[in-house]
Structure 1
Amino acid sequence: MTAAPTKITDGIWWVGVQNPDLRIFDVIMRTEWGTSYNSYLIQGSEKIAVVDAVKQGFSEEQLERISAVVDPKKIDYIICNHTEPDHSGALVKLMDAAPNAVVVCSRPAKTFIKEIINRDFECIVAGDGVTLDLGNKTIEFISAPYLHWPDSIFTYVKEDAFLSSGDVFGVHYSAGQIFDDLTKLDANMIASQKYYFDVIMSPFKSYVLQAVEKIRNLKIDVIGPSHGPVLRQDPWGAVKRYENWSMPTINDPKKIYIGYVTCYGYTAKLAEKLYEGADQDGVEVEIEDVSKIAASEVAAKIHNADAFALGSPTLNRDVLKPVWDVMTSLCSYVVKGKHAAVFGTYAWSGEACKYMSERLTDLGVKVVGEAKAKLNPNEEELAAAYQLGVDLRKTVK
C-alpha cells in the first residue's frame, strides 16, 4: 500500500512518517505513545520546498508521500529546521532523490549536516530576515537557537499562516491521526507534552520565551512541529503551555535540597547536622534518602532548588550508585552557577566526597565545601557538618 500524504492547506502537505511502536527515544526518553517524524512539502506556483527529512530507515515512506504530490526531482529546496538525526538521518536519500535541490539551514546546521552526510552540498544559510520566494508562497525564516540545538530555525509561510516549528511545541505522540482535532486532546496527550518539554526543552526555557516573542504577532493558523500532531485546531494552546512552563520561578522562601544515601546510618548523621545548619532564617530545606526515589525525580528537585547538598559513603573507593545516578541526571544548563555541598563517611580511603565534588564542578556547580567522617561521626565531625549547612544557607540568603 502506497504511503499517502496528508493535505494541510492548498499547496502544503504532511509527508512525514509515524512510528507508533517506538518506546524509547534517544536512549533516555520513554515514548509510551510512540512518535512521528514530521516533514512538510510546500508547493508554490514556481518553486517547491520540503521541510526536514526523517529518521534513517523511514526514507522510502517519506519519498512515497512526496512522490504522490510531486516528482522529487522537481524539489528546489530542502529546508532543515533542525539537524538532529531523527530529522536528518534520511537526508542523503532525500538529496539523492532531489539532486537539484539546495539545502536551506542555519549556519550551525550547515556544519552539522556536513558532519552527518560527509559530503559537500549547495547551501543557503537561513536566519532572521531571510526569505524564499516560491511564487505564490513566501517562506520567512526565524532564528530560534537552542530549541533544542544551536541550529534550530522556524519556517513560516506567510500566505497560509503556517509555521513549521521544529521540535518546539511538539510532543512524542503517534495516535494514527495527523491533526490535533482528530487526536483526542486528553490527559495522556498533555502529560506527554509536559514530559517532552521537561526532558528536551526545559534546559532552554529562556530560549523558548525568546522564540515565543518572535512569533507572538504573527498570524498563525497552523503549527507543524517536528513531532506529534499538526496543530490546526488550537495552535496557540501549545504555544501558551510552552510559555507557561518556561516562565522563571523565584523561590520564596529560598529552597535547599539535601539528598544522601547511607549504609549504617553514619552518613545520615552528617545529613541531619547539615540540615540543622541550613534550616534557619526562613530557608525551606528538604532532606531525603535518594535510594528510595527515582534519580530523575531527585534531579528535578535539585533543578528547582536554590542550593543543594549530596552525601554518600565511600564503597570500594567510589560513590554509591544512587548518588551517581542523580549526578548523571542533572542538566548542566540548569545547575550551572548553583551552590552545593558534599558529605560522606568512610572506613579507610574516603574518595566519595572528592568524586562528587569533581562531578558537580564539571557541571558548573560551585561547591562550597565538604564534610567527612571516618565511620561513626564524632562531635567535631558533626559540628563541621553543621557549619557546612550554615555556609550553604548563606549562599541563598
Structure 2
Amino acid sequence: MVSRELVAGVYSVGAFDFDRRIFDELIPLPEGTSYNAYLIRGSEKTVLIDTVDPSKEYDLISNLVKMGIESIDYIVINHAEQDHSGSLPMILEFYPDARVVTNAKCRDLLIALLHIPSDRFMVISEGETLSLGDRTLRFFLTPWTHWPETQITFLVEDKILFSCDLFGFHAATSELFITDEAWAYRSAKRYYAEIMMPFRGSIKGYVEKVRGLDPVMIAPSHGPVHKNPKSILDAYAEWVSDSVKNEVVIPYVSMHGSTAKMVDHLTGALIARGIVVKPFNLTRTDTGDLALALVDAATVVFATPTVLFGPHPTVVSATYLANILRPKTRFASVIGSYGWGGKSVETITKMLDHVKVDLLPPVMVNGEPGEAAMQDLDRLADEILKKHKEVNIV
C-alpha cells in the first residue's frame, strides 16, 4: 500500500481490496473495492478523515508510519459503518491523543459498534468549522445517504469535498483520479442503484448543497477521486430526478421453459413497439446489474413460474429487492405460468408496497403458453406502450 498526494499536504492513505467479491454479504464486487482515508497536514494540526475496513487496518497504519506521521490531532469519521470506521480502535491506540470528530448520531453509533469511549469525541453540528491552522474543515450533515448519521467534510481553502459514500463507487484501481469518465459513470450509477437509490428524495437536496460549495475535487470513500465534479453531480441530478426512460426491465425465472417462452415473446413485442427491453434471468443475474437497470426504467415486469402456491423464491427475492430500492419506476406487471393453481400475482403485487407504481393487467397461463397467451402478451405490450406515451417518454 502507498500514500499518494491529491494536492500539497493532502494525501490518500487508504487501502485497496482487489480480491473482495461481495459486500455486506449482498452486493457483488466485480472489480473489488477501496477503503479511502485521507490525511491533511495543516500548519498547526493534522487530521485523518475516515479509516478503513478492519481487514485492511495494517495497510492504513503502514501508510501513516511510512509517511512519518508521529501524531494525529483529529480523526474525522463521516460514517459509522465499519468499512469506514472499523480501524478506528487501532488508530486510537497508535495515536492516543487524537480526538474523534463527528456528529452526535455518528458518535452514538460508534460507541455502540466499536465501544469507543465517549470522552474521545468532539461533536460537531451542521456548518461548524475546525481550524488546522492554515486550513479549515467545514462539516455538513447529510442524513440518509445512506445511514441516518452520515456527513460530508469540506476542506475550504483547497475546495476539496470528502463526500463519504456519496458520489463514490466500488472499484479497486491503482489510479488515484478518474481518467475514464464512461467507466466511472456506469460504476457510480451501479453503486447509486445498490446503495443510494432508496434515499433519492434526500439526495436531491444534497446534490444542490454540494454544487453550492463549488468543489474542485470530490474525494469519496470508495473508488478514485473526481477531478471533474460537474460530471458526477450532473449524473446524480439525472438519477435522482423523477424522469424515467422508455425501458422495461423483466426479472424472470423459468423452471420448465413456459415462462421463458412468455418472456421471449413479450421481449420481442416490446422491441417491435420501440421500447428498450432488459430481461434478467435471475439464475444467472448479478443483482448489481439488475439494480442498475431499475434506476431509469419506466416499467418492470416480474416473470415467474408457480412454486406450490406462489412465485418462485428467486423472483420473490428480486421483488423484495426492487421494493426496498424504491426506484422511480411508474408501472409494473406480472406474467408467468402455473400448473394447478397459485397466487403469484397477489403475492408479488402486495410486496411492492414501497414502490409507487400503476399495476398493469397480469398474464398468467395454465401450463405451456399457446396462441391465446401470446395475444395477451401483445396486449400487455400495447398497454405498456400506451402508458409510456402518457408520461411522454416515447
TM bucket (normalised to shorter chain) is 0.7 to 0.9
Q: 1:361 to 1:395 in 2, by over 3 A?
A: farther
Q: Is the 1:37–1:86 Cα contact (8 Å) retained in structure 2?
A: yes
Residue by residue, what CA displacement relative to the aligned partner does 1:180-203 show, whole Å, maximum 9, x if unpaired?
2xx753754554344334433344
Q: 1:394 to 1:127 in 2, by over 3 A?
A: farther
Q: 1:63 to 1:306 in 2, by over 3 A?
A: same
104, 108, 111: which one aligns with 2:108? 111
211, 218, 230: which one aligns with 2:213? 218
Q: 1:98 to 1:265 in 2, by over 3 A?
A: closer
For 1:347, the aligned partner's letter is G
For 2:168, the aligned partner's letter is G
Matched residues in 1 for 2:19 and 2:282: separation? Answer: 32
Matched residues in 2 for 1:220 and 1:362: separation? Answer: 35
Q: 1:63 to 1:327 in 2, by over 3 A?
A: same
Larger Rg: 1
* Aligned position for 2:344: 352
* Aligned position for 1:294: 285
Matched residues in 2 for 1:174 and 1:389: separation? Answer: 41
Matched residues in 2 for 1:185 and 1:107: separation? Answer: 38
Q: CA deviation at 1:158?
A: 1.4
For 1:216, the aligned partner's letter is R
> What does 1:248-267 align with in structure 2 at a 5 Å threshold?
248=241, 250-251=243-244
For 1:195, the aligned partner's letter is R
Secondary structure at the aligned position of 1:140 is classed as: strand
The answer to whether structure 1 residue 192 and structure 2 residue 216 are counterparts is: no
Matched residues in 1 for 2:279 and 2:12: separation? Answer: 48
* Aligned position for 1:15: 13
Percent identity reads 28
Q: 1:270 to 1:156 in 2, by over 3 A?
A: closer
The answer to whether structure 1 residue 90 and structure 2 residue 90 are counterparts is: no
Q: CA deviation at 1:56?
A: 0.3
Q: Is the 1:131–1:138 Cα contact (8 Å) retained in structure 2?
A: yes
For 1:221, the aligned partner's letter is V
Secondary structure at the aligned position of 1:155 is classed as: strand
Question: TM-score w.r.t. structure 1 length?
Answer: 0.75
Matched residues in 1 for 2:280 and 2:31: separation? Answer: 32
* Aligned position for 1:70: 69
Matched residues in 2 for 1:32 and 1:298: separation? Answer: 14
Q: 1:113 to 1:238 in 2, by over 3 A?
A: farther
Residue by residue, what CA displacement relative to the aligned partner does 1:152-207 show, whole Å, maximum 9, x if unpaired?
21111212222211122323333334x32xx7537545543443344333444444
* Aligned position for 2:239: 246
* Aligned position for 1:235: 228
Q: CA deviation at 1:300?
A: 5.1
For 2:40, the aligned partner's letter is I
Secondary structure at the aligned position of 1:36 is classed as: strand
Q: CA deviation at 1:4?
A: 5.1
58, 66, 71: which one aligns with 1:60? 58
Gaps of 5+ in 1: none
The answer to whether structure 1 residue 361 and structure 2 residue 353 are counterparts is: yes
Q: 1:16 to 1:362 in 2, by over 3 A?
A: same
Q: Is the 1:220–1:235 Cα contact (8 Å) retained in structure 2?
A: no
For 2:228, the aligned partner's letter is P
The answer to whether structure 1 residue 81 and structure 2 residue 78 are counterparts is: yes
Q: 1:363 to 1:189 in 2, by over 3 A?
A: closer
Matched residues in 1 for 2:8 and 2:292: separation? Answer: 44
Matched residues in 1 for 2:33 and 2:264: separation? Answer: 45
312, 322, 330: which one aligns with 1:320? 312
Q: Is the 1:41–1:48 Cα contact (8 Å) retained in structure 2?
A: yes
Matched residues in 1 for 2:371 and 2:185: separation? Answer: 51
How many residue pairs get matched?
A: 384
**More displaced stretch, 263-272 vs 199-208:** 263-272
Q: Is the 1:261–1:322 Cα contact (8 Å) retained in structure 2?
A: yes
Instruction: State the Cα RMSD in Å.
Output: 4.4
3, 6, 11: which one aligns with 1:5? 3
33, 36, 39: which one aligns with 1:35? 33
